[in-house]
A and B are shown apart, each in its own frame.
Chain A
Amino acid sequence: MARSATVSQRRRSSTHESFLRHKGFLFLKVAVFVCVAAVAAYFFQHARPRPGGGTPLGYFLGTVGAGLIVWLALLGVRKRAVSSGHYSLKAWVSAHVYLGLSLIVIATLHTGFQFGWNVHTLAYGLMLLVIASGAIGVWAYVALPARLSENRGETTRKQMLAQIQSLDELIHEAAQGFPRDTAAIVRISLEQTDIGGGFWRRLFEDYRDCANLRALREIEAAQRTAGAHEAKALGEVAVLMRRKGDALGLARRQMHITALLEAWLFVHVPATFALLAALTVHIVSVFAYW
């Protein structure tokens, strides 16, 4: 009994409390404290000739920042292991978000606002890119799942694809009696329709040149000039193509929202690797030429 109660409690907490609100914004409070302490130390320090990475506080903030970056990057490792309790994945993500944002303050104060065309500023820029993409990720994780579910309704992704496939079969069937030229138009829809498409197409949901749509326009044009019998057959195919268009629209909207949900990771993860490399270069070069 006790075990099942614990399980249900955990399930409830994991269902109803977002990572942002974890433990009453515990990590937000920690991050704010860290930032305030860093800013205070920055303004109270007696840095000569001026604040930067080479002052005692600069070295301290640099060490803290580098440690944080490595720890934040370890989320990628940590998320592959399932555990619970105080060090649950949700706690990690919550800390990842808030402490990651606090890096903006820590690293900026570490630089002492000295920037240039060098590997040091490259590391800083990459860090900002990682944080910015991560911030978009946070927004996506908060805002998009609801839209995804709303768009999907009761249909699963598998059903969406199956529907498109079955419509293809119906169109194929209905067009069997067509002469070669109209059959060629139908083939455009059957053979050239790309359900998903590339990164940008998905991200901006831009399917104006959809093959199904092109085929439909041509079938409709052919329908206007065809005889009654032929027009009827073309009309049947056109109806099927419109239904296919609707099914495609639904799937594509799902892909668009999914793309928005995933796109940030295509920046966040590679930029993190680049950042780790640039950070290594930054540290090694500073000590190689100090």
Chain B
Amino acid sequence: MTQAITLRLITRQAGGGEIVRTRRIDSGEAMIGRAQGCDIYLPDLSVDPQHALMRVAGRNRVTIESLTGVAFQVDGKQTLRADLDAGRGQMASFGAFDLSVSEGAEDDIAVAVTRREEEHAPSPSLFSLKASLFGRRRMAWALGLTILALCLIVPLAGASLFRHLHIHPDQQWSTGPLSKAHAFLEKDCQSCHQAKFVAVRDQACLACHQAGRTPAQTLALNADLGRRGSPFIPRLISDHAGHDRLLKAMPPPPTLGGKVKGLFGKAFNHPNDRCASCHLEHTGPKGPVIEADRPIKPTLVVATTCGGCHGQLKSRLPSTGLIDTPDWKRHPDFRPLVTVSAEGPAPRIERIALTADPQEHSGLVFSHRQHLDPTGGVARMGVGLGAARGYGGALTCISCHRPTPGAGGFKPIEMERDCAACHALGFASAGGEIKLLPHGDAGKVMATLQAFYGGGSGAGAEPQRRLPGDFRPQSAAPRAANPAMASGAFRQAFSPGGTCYGCHRISWDGDGPMGVKVAKVHLASRFLPRGAFDHSVPAHKGDGLGAFNCVDCHKAKTSEHAEDLLLPGVAKCATCHGKTEHQTPAAASGQCADCHSYHKPGKATPTGQSRTFEAIFAPADGPARGIPGG
């Protein structure tokens, strides 16, 4: 006999608890479906009206078979037919309904029908955006931490780890492009920022720019920087003065803002006496870097003007030898380095103001007037020497003072080159060859004469009076040993009218040969080593301004004595410098840096056209390298 099916229809109540309705089906078959007449009525639209048939298939066994070809679930698997063992308590699911099969209490098969809990009904929080987007807070933390990691931690910790990468993590910290001169360091922040949280120190700059290297060191540095991509060779920088002296000389900032800035600088270890205090990098053009717009050099911001320190220098730096100079109009008159005496182991040189009418004791006898006289004997001699030898007329300044090409100065006077054309050193002729006395050493003069005439005393030799250039070869047979001839010729040369006597101060109480004493000679190469007067500057030559002559500044035409110091005073400079064009067509600026550059006060600050590159190296396979101008 077929087992009966007992249906237990369980409905859960809202407040908890269940309502159970029981129905017994004795036929052993139960129709499962959504249609109201079904034995197992499942009001769910996903269930077909007559979806499946449940049949008792044996003791405690039922079979469920889909009638519509639509599957149902048994133990989580889709199926069209299933055998269920009531002893095992299996379950079939149709839509939202579960059918649990178990052994009944009265030898029947119990089928419990329950509806699964509905999904939670939407709550009003659905109206908020939070319902549809992941949390603001999570997004906020994710973004913040990502930025901290990528932009702070990685550059701080990994700058050295990522050196080989194309983009360096600390490049994102750069506040602006570097100048052309330093652009090759853009990926190597630490070449300048050597210690973190410490402002760029001078040692970083001087690693390349320190002056005072040997030529070999300089060449090696240039080559190394070239390999690293530097377009220029570095300018080598000297200190304006000792660092401690600079600090003492610097006045406190004049403005309240400056004072506050100074206090902050001190408090935050950002001193104002560094290279980088004046030479600022990362100040390039606004916006994205356009190579052509990069400045050539770091931007210069002058921390203190020249007058700022030098206006009252003596009060802050009593040991200075400089006179306070607030501005160009109050520039003291020149105090050239004057040779007080050329005698002694070293010449004695003193700074003496031009106003004190200093005398230059060079040890020579010389008259500029005589040499520049257009009608005198010197002029006639110039004519006689002819243009082929660089003369041909009255002497001019450059007949003796030879300009140094490109250096703005003059070569030191050399007797053989600059005087000997007239003041000939020839003393004899042998076999068509003119014999010359050596210059600069009386002992060698004697040795030369003795070698020519034979050794011995020169007593009795007759001195012959000669004019400069008037060379009369000895007609006597010179080779015959005649020591007296040598001594005579020696005495003649160092006596009035002799070869040496015209220019040198000579006495016979010394320890030279035959007791001769020639005063020591010291020809100054620069009288004003802290200034930078450049004779080659076009304006200084008067180019285009009516061609100045040397004698406009140097009163050489009236100078009778070698002791006359022919330097013009500062007032002469002021006839152009500091004047307006309204006052003189040759007006020039009165800036200190025109004559005294900051880093090399004895040189003028390079300006103007030198700001363009001076090509120093031009390798065939690459762009020219030069030093940045200015």
Contact = CB atoms under 8 A, between A and B. Distances in A.
Contacts of A274: 140, 143-144, 147
Interface in A254-290: 254-255, 258-259, 262-263, 265-266, 269-274, 276-278, 280-281, 284-290
Interface in A27-55: 48-50, 52-54
Contact of B45 (A117, A158, A176): A176
B128 interface: yes
B176 A49 contact: no
B176 A180 contact: no
B288 A270 contact: no
Interface stretch (A88-96, A99-107, A193-201): A193-201
Nearest to A175: B45
Interface stretch (B119-127, B221-229, B524-532, B580-588): B119-127
A114 B261 contact: no
Interface stretch (A1-9, A13-21, A118-126): A118-126
Given A49-B299, A270-B140, A290-B270, A199 B127 contact: no
Interface stretch (B86-94, B149-157, B311-319): B149-157
Contact of A278 (B129, B151, B170, B287): B151
B68 interface: yes
B173 A288 contact: yes
A290 B147 contact: no
A221 interface: no
Nearest to A266: B136
A59 interface: yes
A119 B280 CA distance: 20
A195 B122 contact: yes
A196 B193 contact: no
B537 interface: no
B199 interface: yes
B286 interface: yes
A190 interface: yes
Interface in A134-185: 156-158, 161, 165, 172, 175-180, 183-184
Given A199-B133, A262-B129, A289-B189, A187 B46 contact: yes
Nearest to A120: B175
A161 B140 contact: no
* Residue among A54, A156, A195, A287 with the highest chain B CB neighbour number at 10 A: A287
A113 interface: yes
Interface residues on B, range: 35 or more
Nearest to A190: B45
Interface in A49-98: 49-50, 52-54, 56, 59
A55 to B, nearest CB: 9
A196 B128 CA distance: 9
Contacts of A48: 301
Given A118-B174, A273-B143, A288 B45 contact: no
Interface string B270-304: 10000000001001001111000000000101000
A186 interface: yes
Contacts of B409: none
Contact of B175 (A116, A179, A187, A202): A116
Contact of A289 (B131, B137, B196): B196
B207 to A, nearest CB: 17
Nearest to B295: A49
A156 B197 CA distance: 59
Contacts of B155: 285
Given A277-B144, A285-B152, A196 B45 contact: no
Contacts of B286: 113-115
A260 to B, nearest CB: 9
A50 B129 contact: no
Contacts of A276: 144
Contact of A183 (B45, B132, B170, B289): B45
B451 interface: no
A249 B63 CA distance: 47
B128 A199 contact: no
A180 B143 contact: no
Interface residues of A, number: 68
B162 interface: no
Interface string B591-614: 000000000000000000000000
A276 B43 CA distance: 58
A277 B45 contact: no
B132 A202 contact: yes
Contacts of B434: none
B137 A269 contact: yes
Contacts of A52: 175, 283
A122 B151 contact: yes
Interface string B240-263: 000000000000000001001100
* Residue among A176, A187, A278 with the highest chain B CB neighbour number at 10 A: A176
A119 B140 contact: no
B264 interface: yes
Nearest to B122: A161
A137 B287 CA distance: 31
B49 interface: yes
B172 A118 contact: yes
Contact of B129 (A156, A263, A277, A286): A263
Contacts of B143: 270-271, 273-274, 277
A236 B139 CA distance: 47
Contacts of B261: 56
Contacts of B121: 161, 165
A202 B128 CA distance: 10
Contact of B141 (A119, A199, A273): A273
Interface string B18-49: 00000000000000001110000001011011
B571 interface: no
Contact of A180 (B48, B127, B140, B173): B48
Nearest to B45: A183
Contact of A196 (B132, B147, B289): B132
B254 to A, nearest CB: 12
* Residue among A172, A254, A265, A269 with the highest chain B CB neighbour number at 10 A: A269
Contact of A114 (B151, B170, B175): B175
B148 interface: yes
A178 B142 CA distance: 51
A194 to B, nearest CB: 10
Contacts of A286: 173, 175
B445 to A, nearest CB: 65
Interface of A: 48-50, 52-54, 56, 59, 113-120, 122, 156-158, 161, 165, 172, 175-180, 183-184, 186-187, 190, 195-199, 201-202, 251, 254-255, 258-259, 262-263, 265-266, 269-274, 276-278, 280-281, 284-290
7 contacts: A49-B299, A117-B288, A172-B43, A270-B142, A271-B143, A278-B147, A285-B151
Given A172-B43, A284-B156, 11 more contacts: A49-B301, A56-B257, A113-B286, A161-B123, A165-B121, A183-B45, A255-B126, A271-B143, A274-B140, A288-B173, A289-B189
Which 6 residue pairs spanning A and B have beta carbons closest together? A273-B140, A273-B144, A277-B147, A277-B144, A285-B173, A270-B140
